[in-house]
Amino acid sequence: MARSSPYRGPAPYVFLGPYLILTAVFFVYPLLDAAALAFEQTNGPSSRAFVGLDNFRFLASDPVFHHALVNTTVFALCSVFLQLPLSLLLAVLLNQGGDRFKGLLRLVLFSPNLVGQIFVGILFSVLFTPRYGLINRFSHALLGWGLEEQWLGNPALVMPAIVLTSLWMYVGFNMIYFLAALQAVDKSLEEAARIDGAGRWQVFWHVTLPSMRHVLVFVVLTSIIGSYQLFELPLALLASSNGTGPDNSGLTVITYLNEVAFNSGDLGLGSAVGWSVALIIFAISLVQIRFTRAAEE
Amino acid sequence: MNPLRLLVCALVFGFLLLWALSPRRPRLALAYLRLVLLGSACLLVLAPFFWLLAAVFKDRDYFNEYLFFPPLSEWSSASLNLDNFRRLLAGKPSVTGTVYFWQYVLNSLFFACTSTVLQLLFCSLGGYALARYDFRGKTALMTFMLGSMMIPGVLLMAPIYELMVKLQLIDTYHGLIIPGVVGAYGIFLFRQAILGVPAEIVDAGRIDGCSELKIYYSLVMPLVRPMAAAFCLVSFLGNWNAFFGPNVFLHSQAKLTLPVVLNLYVSQYGSDYGVFLSGTALAILPPAVLFFALEKEFVGGLTSGAVKG
């Protein structure tokens, strides 16, 4: 395809103008400001004072922040090791069958994603009601356990409740990506492996999975990044206990940020939390990319 | 033995039976297993929706009496009625006067629609510029854009809040909408789609004397319509469900959007579930309608950026 004739004029700058202006004002400036804010203490937006590394020192020693960090990490691990395998299983099952069926099932399994996290949180906060909630009754009928369980009031059950809710919400979302990747796998490769005498499981493990590694990396990365930004779901789910759960058992890093920055007015400390999250995400992305590079060579 | 456990046992027994019939080539047993697993996954996904449907119509006194709908013999205006909606839609006093629930619906619609239209316009313009022009600084700009997507949005919340206070944009809709109307991700999506439009079409337009804007509007955009539809859906959903921004930037009761208000209602109404659940049901409805109307574009658009492997 021939490139279009060279054009020398203002058009591209005009078309990109809104992006350039808005990015300068609402991205570059706040980013620089965030770098400055992290070393300052503020009380509301107007009064600022330089405090050096105090914000980071405070975070390093604040048990509440550590609790938030642990909770969020547990959630991220559950996303990767619980939710993604389930999504993959559903995608594989879905990919085996005829097309008419596939479209409908895909639609159903994806549908929770249309509902915002806040609305899902509100809905599930009632589903987890002791004695009457759908989940309590279901678990009682199936397992004989959990009718009177206080999912959202018992610190030991708060994280499981958040993970269960996010499973309901996101299993179908990642399944869509896996399904698209499965459909793009070269059928002749799988066929060749089968002719060479490989079993179903071997074909899947040695042929199908490696050929969808790009999507796997993408989904794992976005899941981890999304997990570290978890905020709205626990906030709505735990609205009856301040959005953080009893004993901060459902506190996430972003809930913590929201609390210190916008409820207590210390935007400096909030920025420091923001940088910590950014650093964690950046480090994980780097490790992940290294890891897959090494695996490919 | 309750019905649920009986059902599970029957399903497991069916699998064992099929397996026993032909243990060497368990094709039938596996097909059965697949159907059972997919079927139960679908039921688990749909159950909360069905439960919600029942919950919003059940009267307060019957709410905990039955898990889903009451049995047909119990159906009457005492057990199933619109009382929850009536209480939801009744006006509530606030500092600035009575506010009705439909005000929040309108706010959400206004915010989501305006943002979506502006996002479509500015992202597609930007994508067009990146796809069809060679200009100075293009490589540097694209590197910057890719890098900017690595920065999590929450990092910028505190300084943007400070900026909004300085610009006196707190508690206004333009303050809420403007920062989000164009982003690197959307521009890249459109760039990718517009790269697929043959260059000959653009050249033909130039020879015929079209202005650059006219080429974008009447020649290029119609050709990337499926992609634009998917973009609008994803972006509408994101705006409709947005919570962090509206929660931080909007203060007056009459300006709040649905997610913010419903989150407040949970603590205000306590165990009077019917009211905020009916509000939640109303809030789920518009995205659901849009989605089912445009399902094909939606799923295609979600994965268009991802599956390049």
Q: Is residue B236 part of a domain?
A: yes
At residue A8, does pLDDT exceed 80? no
Any domain includes A169? yes
pLDDT digit string, tens, across residues A198-221: 888 889 999 999 888 888 888 998
Regarding whether B284 and B136 lie in a shared domain, the answer is yes
- Residue B86 located in a structural domain: no
With respect to residue A196, please indicate whether it lies within any of the assigned structural domains: yes
Residues B71 and B100 in one domain: no
Contact list, A258 vs chain B (CB under 8 Å): 244, 248
Chosen for mutation from A3, A4, A262 (greatest number of chain B CBs closer than 10 Å) is A4
Closest C-alpha to B150, from A279, A34, A40, A193: A279
- Judge whether B85 lies within some domain: no
Contacts of B128 in chain A (CB under 8 A): 15
What DSSP assignment string belongs to A234-265? HHHHTGGGTTT-GGGTT--HHHHHHIIIIIS-
Gap from B97 CA to chain A (nearest CA, Å) = 25
Whether A38 is covered by a domain: the verdict is no
pLDDT per 10-residue tile (average), chain B, 309 residues: 87 89 81 91 95 92 84 84 90 83 95 96 94 89 89 84 90 92 91 87 86 89 86 91 92 93 88 90 92 72 49
Query: Can you tell me the distance from the alpha carbon of A233 to that of A79, in angstroms, rounded to the nearest whole number?
Result: 14
Characterize A122-155 residue by residue with b for buried, 16 or more Cβ atoms within 10 angstroms of its Cβ, and e for exposed: bbbbbbbbeeebbbbbbbbbeeeebeebbbbbbe
The reply to whether residue A137 touches residue B67, judged by beta carbons under 8 angstroms, is yes
- Chain A: give the shortest CA distance to residue B6, in Å: 9
Q: Is residue A229 part of a domain?
A: yes
Higher-pLDDT residue of A149, A233: A233
Residues B196 and B50 in one domain: no
Q: Is the dihedral of CA A46, A52, A54, A59 positive or negative?
A: positive
pLDDT band at A2 (very low <50, low <70, confident <90, very high): very low
B2, B126, B292: residue with CB nearest A19:
B126
The pLDDT value recorded for residue B1 is 66
DSSP letters for A136-166: HHHHHHHHS--TT--TTTSHHHHHHHHHHHH
Quick one: B137 and B257 in the same domain? Answer: yes
Indicate whether B51 and B184 sit together in one domain.
no
| pLDDT exceeds 60 at position A23 | yes
Looking at per-residue pLDDT, the higher value among A68 and A267 belongs to: A68
| CATH (domain of A216) | 1.10.3720.10
Which among B48, B79, B110 is the end of a domain?
A: B79
Instruction: Write the DSSP string, A63-79.
Output: HHHHHHHHHHHHHHHHI
Residues B231, B126 within the same domain: yes
Determine the average pLDDT of the residues in A261-275. 89
Domain assignment present for residue A108? The answer is yes
Give the mean pLDDT of A147-165: 93
The C-alpha of A158 sits at a distance from chain B's nearest C-alpha, in angstroms, of 18
From chain B, the residues in CB contact with A244 under 8 A are none
Claim to verify: residue B229 and residue B102 sit in the same structural domain: yes
Task: Determine contact, residues A178/A215, Cβ cutoff 8 Å.
Answer: yes
State how far the alpha carbon of A289 is from the alpha carbons of A220, A240, A282, B152, B188, in Å: 11, 40, 11, 18, 21
Number of domains in chain A: 1
B309 is a domain residue: no
Q: Are residues B47 and B129 in the same domain?
A: no
Pair B208, B127 in one domain: yes
SS3 B98: strand
More confident residue, B297 or A11: A11
The reported pLDDT for the residue numbered B306 is 44
Residue of A3, A111, A262 lying closest to B161 (CB–CB) = A262
Instruction: Nearest by CB to A37, from B64, B150, B158: name it.
Output: B158
β-strands B92-94, B97-99 pairing: antiparallel
In a domain, A32, yes or no: no
Judged by CB atoms closer than 8 Å, whether chains meet at B178 and A176 is answered as: no
**Does one domain contain both B230 and B124?**
yes
Phi first, then psi: what are they for B99, rounded to 5°? -115, 135
Whether residue A292 is predicted with pLDDT greater than 50 in this model: the reply is yes
- Return the sign of the alpha-carbon dihedral for residues A164, A168, A173, A174: positive
Q: Could you tell me if residue B87 is inside a domain?
A: no
CA-wise closest residue to A26 among B187, B160, B166: B160
Chain B contacts in chain A segment 250-269 (CB below 8 A): 254, 257-258, 261-262, 267-268
> Which structural domain, as residue segments, surrounds residue A279?
54-296
Asked if the structure places residue B188 within a domain, the reply is yes
Domain shared by B50 and B106, yes or no: no
Number of domains in chain B: 2
pLDDT at residue B300, rounded to an integer: 62
Q: What is the DSSP letter of A28?
A: I
Question: For position B61, what pLDDT does the model report?
Answer: 84
- Asked if the structure places residue A211 within a domain, the reply is yes
More confident residue, A3 or A259: A259
Which residue, B79, B86, B88, is CA-closest to B60? B79
| pLDDT at A222 > cutoff 70 | yes
* Residues of chain B positioned with their CB less than 8 A from the CB of A271: 155, 158-159
End residue of a domain, out of B51, B79, B107: B79
Per the domain annotation, does B84 fall within a domain?
A: no
Closest CA to B39 of A258, A227, A49, A109: A109
Kindly report each contact of residues A41-50 with a partner whose C-beta sits within 8 Å and lies 24 or more positions away, as own/partner: A41/A266, A41/A268, A41/A269, A42/A265, A42/A266, A42/A267, A42/A268, A42/B162, A43/A265, A43/A266, A44/A265, A45/A267, A45/B161, A45/B162, A45/B165, A45/B166, A46/B165, A48/A268
Residue B240 and residue B133 share a domain: yes
Q: Which residues of B touch A278 (CB under 8 A)?
A: 151-152, 155
Domain boundary among B47, B79, B111: B79
Domain of residue B204 covers: 92-304
